[in-house]
Amino acid sequence: MRQRTENFYAGRSVEVQYNHDSRGEDGEKKTRDALVGLEQKNRRECVNRETEELWQLANQYFERDAVHLAVADRLSGIPSLIYSLLMKSVLRQFCIFCLGAVISIQPVLSCDVSDDTNFPRSAALAKSTNRPLLLAFIGTDWSISSLKLDREVFDQAEFADDSKYNFLLCKLQFYQTQERFLETIRQNEELATQYNVQEFPTVVILSPDGREIGRLGYISGGVKAFAAAANAIIAKSRQQEQH
C-alpha cells in the first residue's frame, strides 16, 4: 500500500511505500524510521535552499527597502537556532559594511579643514587642539590666483595629511556673481577689514590663541611649496615663543 505524507518544510509531498502485511512492531518501526528519515532529509534540503536565498537577500540589504520583512518571511519555516545563526551572520555583514563606510570617510573627518565659512567655530577648534589656523580669503569666482590656490593646494588630498601639515584651514569665500547668506557676507567682510586684506588670495596665519603670526598669497609649486612656507612661519613663531 502507498501512504502519502505532506512535507511542509520542502513544500511538496513525499511518498513512502511499505508492506501492508507488516503489522508487527518491527514493520511499524521501519515505517516510522523511513518517514522520519525522509522528513529530516527534506528539512535539510529546505534549510540549505532557504539559507542560500537568505544570503541573496542579505547581499541586497542596502539596495532594497524593508528587506527585513522579506527575510522574516523567508525564515518562517527555519528552526529558531538556524534563524539565530543566520541573523547573526547578517548582523556581522552589516557591521562590516558600517565599518567600511567609517573607514572610507575617515580621511575627510581627519582632514585639517575646520570649516569653510564659520570663523568662530574654526577659531575655537584651533584653540582647543592647539593648532595654528590658516584663514584664507578667497575670491571664489573672480580671482584667478584664488582659483589656482584653491585647486592646486586646498583641494588636494595631500594637503589634508595630518602627519605632514599640523594646522587648520578656514576658507572665507568672496563671490561676485552668486548671492550668499547675509550673515556670512557680513562676517567675511568684517574679517577682511579686521585683518586689512588688500588682495586676493590672502592667507592669514593665526596662532592657536588667535594672534597673527604671518600671511601668504598664492605660491606656485602646489601643496609642498605652500605647506613649506606655512610651516616655516609657524616654526619661527614657536621659536620666538620659547625665547
pLDDT at 160 (0 to 100): 80
Verdict on whether the full-model pTM lies above 0.85: no
Q: Which domains does the chain have, with CATH numbers?
A: 2-107 (no CATH), 119-242 (3.40.30.10)
Residue pLDDT tens, the chain, 243 long: 434 333 333 444 444 444 444 456 666 666 666 665 665 665 566 555 655 665 565 455 444 443 444 444 444 444 544 444 445 554 555 544 544 444 443 333 333 444 467 899 999 999 999 999 999 999 999 999 999 999 999 999 888 875 466 889 999 999 987 666 888 889 999 999 999 999 999 999 999 999 999 999 999 999 999 999 999 999 999 999 887
Q: Is 183 strand, coil or helix?
A: helix
Give the residue carrying C-alpha cell 516510522. 32
Q: Measure the CA–CA gap between 218 and 222, rounded to whole angstroms.
A: 10
Q: Measure the CA–CA gap between 154 and 173, rounded to whole angstroms.
A: 13
